[in-house]
Chains A and B, each alone.
Chain A
């Protein structure tokens, strides 16, 4: 924490028609850089694998100037996988930022509150009890996430949902669902169990256009909805009473945003499995980069996408194509980051 404040450079943009916005220069820069990084990592990732391609070749193929073989590899195999990675990362980053802001707790992320575990339970139930198809597993995970989200809201509701209650109830829910998951694994035969374990680490292996389209549609609806509610969320940070006094319909905003966050996280988990720690770390990292108060929704979204795609690239580079699921890498990175955060905050005397 600095001892003297430095003026933030915010630009007011106003048009003659009465439109007006305030743009924080640093936040805009961070968003721009993160977007560029995410896209660059995406291009590099498309070029990575058993058939390596240069970035120029990838870009050429994307605009339709590649050979037939390249065309097939890029369009049918690698582009959808990278898009799933970007979208899943974006959903987790945004969902995590929403949950952390609503719970007023940096640890109040979907992985801690049991949402990822809930989606896992849904997927495991389909794998173990019905030996279901990949589509059925995806639907099961989505349903599991939704049911857990609704249970969380109902259990935490007491004259409205409050941060501390949400986190405590979430940890309880998480413990119960984790136990259920353990039980399901012990019930499974060997083939189902190994399939379940691979799913549980979170992976982008073999993701194709059937995962991209629903995710993209969901994001197209939810992201604008969430950003429209973001101003209310900023007010909620000052406490329910202040937000209420300023004319925010507190419970409505919270229900809308929490519902959106549950959908985003459930969809992301259904598409790629419970990729650990992205939802927890992306908002924190974004916040440290922008140094801006507020939920930092857009920076968190971009950070999530960048993190996931970079982690996937790192795992492919270090261990060879499709050897190590991306969830392992984000788990290790996230764990190290969390420790670093706890140690530095402890030094600063805040914990």
Chain B
């Protein structure tokens, strides 16, 4: 039994249903990436897995327990989440922000232990922001800021870490930088990572387990090498493409068909 599973869940905002009877297992010690077109429910699924969204039916289980019934701080010591929308308070320094990740380990009488200090330092070193510790967060570049937020999530010391589109708004170099960091966390520390990514090629390159969603349903899941095919991409994204071998890593590389080819095929289909 894996630590984190969604069991037959129906996910809805108010009465707008995003997904029905969806079941997903996050394999332990995997780097799972959830992909799919816009509005397929991938971020919603991540919200449900991190107990931000209560399923209207079904349940999300963490270590065999219904996640909503567990004490909030206990969940926060097991499962971390880096949401898409986070606000750095005005005038906060990097060290202070990362320190806030220690909240679930602290209490009213135990507010800043030696352990807290050690873990914060370690988290900053691991994400290479230690030398920025005294800088203000709002004067950092986008890539540095994202590493700081990841450091905060690391300071939470959770065996499971969920990331909602961690590479959005970053340029290509910083996207790779963040993904490399995720891969390191997964490989060296044996953490289970779950990320929502937009870029299919990044997903195929970094994921050990891929979940492809469309319209709130799982279309395919498994190792990228096993499941990423031209047929799957067309089924999930509605895009004609070729899947070739990535010359760097041997993972599947999705190359969209040229516009002419797609238009011609579309035209013949229509006639």
Task: With both chains docked as a complex, state the minimum distance between the C-beta of A24 and any C-beta of chain B, in angstroms.
Answer: 10
The verdict on A242 contacting chain B, using a C-beta distance below 8 Å, is: yes
Q: Which of B80, B110, B116 has the most CB of A within 10 A?
A: B110
Task: Contacts A239-B85, A248-B72 given; indicate if A234 touches B112 (C-beta within 8 A).
Answer: no
Q: How far is the CA of A151 from the CA of B224 in the complex (A)?
A: 53
Task: Contacts A241-B81, A242-B83, A242-B86 given; indicate if A247 touches B72 (C-beta within 8 A).
Answer: yes
The verdict on B255 contacting chain A, using a C-beta distance below 8 Å, is: no
A19 with B103: CB separation less than 8 A: no
Task: With both chains docked as a complex, state the minimum distance between the C-beta of B159 and any C-beta of chain A, in angstroms.
Answer: 15
**Restricting to B86-112, which residues have a CB under 8 Å from any CB of A?**
86-93, 96-97, 100-101, 103-104, 106, 108-112
The verdict on B52 contacting chain A, using a C-beta distance below 8 Å, is: yes
Which of B18-26, B133-141, B179-187, B242-250 contacts the other chain? B133-141
Q: How far is the CA of A21 from the CA of B28 in the complex (A)?
A: 36
B106 with A245: CB separation less than 8 A: no
Q: How far is the CA of A67 from the CA of B236 in the complex (A)?
A: 90
Contact indicator per residue, chain B 63-86, by CB within 8 Å of chain A (1) or not (0): 000000000111111001111111
Task: With both chains docked as a complex, state the minimum distance between the C-beta of A279 and any C-beta of chain B, in angstroms.
Answer: 19
**Restricting to A237-253, which residues have a CB under 8 Å from any CB of B?**
237-239, 241-242, 244-249
Which of A7-15, A52-60, A202-210, A300-308 contacts the other chain? A7-15
Q: Which of A1, A3, A6, A238 has the most CB of B within 10 A?
A: A238
Task: With both chains docked as a complex, state the minimum distance between the C-beta of A245 and any C-beta of chain B, in angstroms.
Answer: 4
The verdict on B44 contacting chain A, using a C-beta distance below 8 Å, is: no
Size category, B interface: 35 or more
The verdict on B234 contacting chain A, using a C-beta distance below 8 Å, is: no
B134 with A6: CB separation less than 8 A: yes
Task: With both chains docked as a complex, state the minimum distance between the C-beta of A236 and any C-beta of chain B, in angstroms.
Answer: 10
Chain B residue numbers with a CB within 8 Å of A292 are 91
Chain B residue numbers with a CB within 8 Å of A2 are 136
Chain A residue numbers with a CB within 8 Å of B138 are 1
B89 with A238: CB separation less than 8 A: yes
Task: With both chains docked as a complex, state the minimum distance between the C-beta of B192 and any C-beta of chain A, in angstroms.
Answer: 16
Contact indicator per residue, chain A 1-33, by CB within 8 Å of chain B (1) or not (0): 111111110001010001111100000000000
A20 with B87: CB separation less than 8 A: no
- Of the candidates B86, B109, B134, which one forms a contact with A241 in the assembled complex, judged by CB atoms under 8 Å apart? B86
Q: How far is the CA of A237 from the CA of B100 in the complex (A)?
A: 11
Chain B residue numbers with a CB within 8 Å of A6 are 134
A237 with B76: CB separation less than 8 A: no
- Of the candidates A21, A242, A244, A245, which one forms a contact with B112 in the assembled complex, judged by CB atoms under 8 Å apart? A21
- Of the candidates B80, B83, B116, B117, which one forms a contact with A239 in the assembled complex, judged by CB atoms under 8 Å apart? B83
A246 with B156: CB separation less than 8 A: yes
B90 with A293: CB separation less than 8 A: yes
Chain A residue numbers with a CB within 8 Å of B76 are 245-247
Chain A residue numbers with a CB within 8 Å of B136 are 1-2, 5
The verdict on A228 contacting chain B, using a C-beta distance below 8 Å, is: yes
Q: How far is the CA of A328 from the CA of B3 in the complex (A)?
A: 62
A247 with B93: CB separation less than 8 A: no
The verdict on B50 contacting chain A, using a C-beta distance below 8 Å, is: yes
- Of the candidates B100, B114, B116, which one forms a contact with A238 in the assembled complex, judged by CB atoms under 8 Å apart? B100
Tell me the nearest residue of chain A to B102, going by C-beta.
A246
Interface of A, secondary structure class, is loop
Task: With both chains docked as a complex, state the minimum distance between the C-beta of A9 and any C-beta of chain B, in angstroms.
Answer: 11
Tell me the nearest residue of chain A to B73, going by C-beta.
A247
The verdict on A187 contacting chain B, using a C-beta distance below 8 Å, is: no
Contact indicator per residue, chain B 220-256, by CB within 8 Å of chain A (1) or not (0): 0000000000000000000000000000000000000
- Of the candidates B80, B96, B116, which one forms a contact with A245 in the assembled complex, judged by CB atoms under 8 Å apart? B80
Contact indicator per residue, chain B 30-74, by CB within 8 Å of chain A (1) or not (0): 000000000000000000001110000000000000000000111
B112 with A12: CB separation less than 8 A: yes
Tell me the nearest residue of chain B to A22, going by C-beta.
B112
**Restricting to A190-248, which residues have a CB under 8 Å from any CB of B?**
228, 231, 234-235, 237-239, 241-242, 244-248
The verdict on A291 contacting chain B, using a C-beta distance below 8 Å, is: yes
Q: How far is the CA of A247 from the CA of B82 in the complex (A)?
A: 13
Q: How far is the CA of A249 from the CA of B76 in the complex (A)?
A: 11
A294 with B80: CB separation less than 8 A: no
A247 with B104: CB separation less than 8 A: yes
B89 with A241: CB separation less than 8 A: no
**Restricting to A244-267, which residues have a CB under 8 Å from any CB of B?**
244-249
A238 with B87: CB separation less than 8 A: yes
**Restricting to A84-114, which residues have a CB under 8 Å from any CB of B?**
104
Chain B residue numbers with a CB within 8 Å of A12 are 112, 114, 117
The verdict on B113 contacting chain A, using a C-beta distance below 8 Å, is: yes
B93 with A235: CB separation less than 8 A: no
B72 with A241: CB separation less than 8 A: no
Task: Contacts A21-B111, A246-B76, A293-B89 given; indicate if A235 touches B52 (C-beta within 8 A).
Answer: no
Task: With both chains docked as a complex, state the minimum distance between the C-beta of A288 and any C-beta of chain B, in angstroms.
Answer: 10
B135 with A235: CB separation less than 8 A: no
A5 with B134: CB separation less than 8 A: yes
- Given A244-B81, A245-B81, A293-B96, 9 extra CB contacts under 8 A: A2-B136, A5-B139, A235-B103, A239-B87, A248-B72, A249-B72, A293-B90, A293-B92, A294-B89
Contacts from B to A (Cβ < 8 Å): 50-52, 72-77, 80-93, 96-97, 100-101, 103-104, 106, 108-114, 116-117, 134-136, 138-139, 153, 156
Ranked 10 nearest A-B pairs via Cβ: A247-B76, A241-B83, A22-B112, A245-B81, A247-B73, A293-B92, A247-B104, A5-B135, A7-B134, A237-B89
Query: Can you identify 17 A-B contacts, CB atoms within 8 angstroms?
Result: A6-B134, A8-B96, A12-B112, A12-B114, A20-B116, A21-B112, A231-B108, A231-B111, A238-B86, A238-B87, A238-B88, A238-B100, A242-B86, A245-B50, A245-B52, A245-B76, A246-B101
